[in-house]
Structures are given as structure tokens and as C-alpha cells.
Amino acid sequence: MLRITALAGGIGGARFLRGLLRAVPDSDVTVIGNTADDITLHGLHISPDLDTVMYTLGGGIHEGQGWGRADETYAVKDELAAYGAEPQWFGLGDRDLATHVIRTQMLGAGYPLSAVTEALCDRWQPGVRLLPMTDDRVETHVVVDEGKRPRAVHFQEWWVRMHAKIPAERIVLVGVESARPAPGVLEAIQAADVVLLPPSNPVVSIGPILAVAGVRDAVATTGAPVVGVSPIISGAPVRGMADACLTAIGVETSAAAVAGLYADLLDGWLVDTSDAGAVPTVEALGVRCRAVPLLMSDV
Ligand code: FO1
């Protein structure tokens, strides 16, 4: 039984994992999910990246969006808007709300996020063990300067309301200094036969997971091969706004530059055939590199 451990964020990571499970159906896959996108809205704790993995692998995802539920309705959202409840820029569907109600109830009863995630996955049966990177609170905030003076906004506001159009002066992982890996996270990396970095956002998805104490070291010292898949194809993100995030940390938006972010961890890096020119650059980092078709158009 091949033991695979993958660090994953949202849409790109979830879609890659869906293909992975088809490609190696009899493997034992553990997914360490990003929780720095988490946000509390209308009193509810929302975990976008965990939910995208859970819904995508569990068969409930809104396929076109890559987040939220299929066959969704927005009656509650409309009612909240009728009351003038803010914010209105984050679309919470009626079906999706049930997930956040359960999560908030269980967190309020004292269960850690890892136990909550296990309970939610008991319904969805995603076919992987989904672990939050930490049970502690970590939130990505973005410092933007809209002319008056710099201010920090939650990542979701920058991503969803501002469409990452206002440059991020800085991206800050609030709380990461005191965050500990969730139960099973380090063990899953150390016990893996292979560790994968799917094509998730390197700055706001994979980055926060690696920033949790002990995780980067565990990946760096695991005996298993560590292989990553470029989220950048032909110099651009496939979807999402990883380019705006990479620019914020002064990194070029290219398959080779992202490999450079993980060079100390990687044994292998896959770039798209359109980026075959990057292979020598990546191999010069001491990372084996192959150019293969990376664009995921179906399962
Ligand atoms: N993304 C949007 O662009 N607009 C939304 O209104 C929105 C709502 C939303 C609700 C629940 C959820 O789990 C995710 C949601 N997302 C929305 C996506 C979210 O911003 C991203 O999935 C991640 O945080 C970035 O990968």
C-alpha cells in the first residue's frame, strides 16, 4: 500500500488529488490542508481550502467555481443582505452554510479543527485522510496601501472583494509563530513513501503549511522522495491569482521560480511541456525536472 502525503491548498490542489486517487486507487493518501485562508463571518468559522478538498473529493463541489457546493441556493445570503449584514462580498450558499454551522458548533464545544474535519469527512468520504495543517488559529492577512496609509485586510477580502487588484505590500501569516502541527501531520510526512506538492498557490496555500513549526523540517528530512507540480504554466497561474501573490514576495511568476521556493525540499519538479526551457534552470538547483503536460482539463 503506497503511502502518499500531499500538502494542498484549494482548487488546483483538490483537482490534482482527484486525478491522483484515480491514478493510484489502492494508495493510502493523507492530505495536509491549508487553514490560513480560514475566516469567521456571520459568526461562522469557514475553512475554504479544507472544504474545497472535502467537497471536490467527496463529490459535492461546484465544479465550475472549484469552491462551494453544487446545486447551491442563496436564500440565507439574500436574507442577510436584506438585514444589511456585512460582509456581502463573500458568497455563502445555503448548503455550504450547514458545513460552517457544524464546524462552528463543534469548535464551540471544544473540539479541535482536526476532529471537526474528521467528523465532516465522515459524511463526505473524500477517500483521503484530510488533516488541517494546525489546530491553532493562523490567518493570512494582506497589507495594502490604498493611498491614505497601509492597512491589513484579511486574505479573503483582498482575494474576493479586491480580486487581488490592489498590490499586496506584504503578506502576513497572523498567528503562525505559535501554531503547532495538528495531530498526525508530522507523522504523515515522516511515514510517507512519497510526499507531493500539488499545483496549489505557493504563497498563500503551500507556504503557510510549510511555515507551521516543524513541517518544513519534516519535509526536508523525510526519507521519502518529495515531488512537486508547477502551479504556473507558460508564465501564468492556471486560475486564481498566484501571480499577484508571487509579486508580493518579490518572486517571478514562472515554473522555475516557484521551484526555487521549494528547492531545499524537492527531489523532483514537474513543469508543463510549454515550460521545457525551464528544465535546465531547475536541474541547476539540484532538483530533477521533467516537462510533461500539466494542464488538468478533466479527471
Ligand atoms: N471565492 C470568490 O471568489 N467569491 C466568493 O464569494 C467566495 C465564497 C466562498 C465561500 C466558501 C468557500 O469555502 C470559498 C469561497 N470562495 C469564494 C473561494 C475562496 O476565496 C477560495 O477558495 C480560497 O480561499 C482561495 O483558494
List the chain residues with pLDDT less than 50.
none
User: How many contiguous H segments (helices) and E segments (strands) does the chain have?
Assistant: 12, 14
Phi then psi for residue 127, to 5 deg, are 85, 5
Over the stretch 55-76, which tens digit does the pLDDT of each residue have? 999 999 999 999 999 999 999 9
**CA 223 to ligand 1 centroid distance, Å:** 35
- So what's the pLDDT on residue 148? 85
Beta bridge partners of residue 289, listed in sequence order: 269
Q: Checking DSSP bridges between strand 236-237 and strand 268-271, what pairing results, if any?
A: unpaired
Residue with CA at minimum distance from ligand 1 atom 4: 160
User: Which residues on adjacent β-strands are paired with residue 3?
Assistant: 28
Distance 222 CA to ligand 1 centre (A): 33
Residue-level pLDDT at 23: 96
Calculate the alpha carbon distances from 83 to 26, 77, 286 in Å. Answer: 50, 10, 57
Query: What grid cell was written down for 223?
Result: 526519507
